[in-house]
Amino acid sequence: MEEVKGVVKHVLLARFKEDVTPDRIDQLIKGYANLVSLIQPMKSFHWGTDVSMENMHQGFTHVFESTFESVEGIAEYVAHPAHVEFANEFLPTLEKVIVIDYKPTVLCA
């Protein structure tokens, strides 16, 4: 096994509160995606909703995945004023949230 050099994935699982409208969720997702253009160590952003047939989502409906150049890059992102401002708007709309940062590992044969 080999760690992908430097790269760190930041995964956020979310369940929005029932009173958050679909339009508001769309606005928040656009705001989240816009952080890529504002925060240099954030290299990419992907998101989606649960499409699993296994019904093991535990109420989480959305997944957000960002790629960073390093663990230090995530620290820079977390402290960045644009992220702080966004988090102050985003987090209060969530009923449940889990955040995991991990270094992707490739299984070498």
pLDDT at site 47:
98
Nearest C-alpha neighbor of 17 from the set 84, 91, 100: 91
The model's pTM is 0.89
> Is 61 or 1 the better-scoring residue by pLDDT?
61
Question: Would you name the residues annotated as active-site residues?
Answer: 77, 80
For residue 98, pLDDT over 80 is answered with yes
Query: Where residue 28 falls among pLDDT bands split at 50, 70, 90?
Result: very high
3-state secondary structure of 93: helix
CA atoms within 13 Å, Cβ hemisphere of 19: 2
Alpha carbons 78 and 80: distance in angstroms, whole number: 6
Angle, CA of 34, 50 and 20, to the nearest 5°: 60
